[in-house]
Structure 1
Amino acid sequence: MEEITGPGSILKTTETNAVIDNYWQKITDYIREGEGYTDEYVRTRFGTSGVFQNDDDKFDPARHEVLVSIIPKKSVTGVTDEITLRRVDGRQITPEIDSIYDWSSTTNNDIITPDGVLEVTGTNLKILSNLEEEGVFFVSQSDDSETEAAQVRTNEPKTLTLQIPGDLAAGTYRLEVRNTAYNSNTLRTGIFAPVLTVE
Structure 2
Amino acid sequence: MPREDYQQQLIDLRENVLYMSEVVMERLRMGLDALEQKDTDLAWEVIDGDEEVNQLYLDLEQECIDLLALQQPVASDLRMVAASFKIITDLERIGDLATNLGEYTLEANHDVFPEVDIQELGTLTLDMIEDSMAAYADENTEGCYGIAERDDELDARCERASEIVVRDLIETELENNTEEEVEQLLQDVSRLLLTVRDLERIGDHAVNIAARTLYMVENDDELIY
- Same structural fold, with TM-score higher than 0.5 when normalized by the shorter chain: no
More relative contact order in 1 or in 2 (CA 8 Å, sep 6+)? 2
Return the structure number with greater strand share: 1
Larger Rg: 1
TM-score, structure 1 as length reference: 0.23
Using structure 2 for the length normalisation, give the TM-score.
0.21
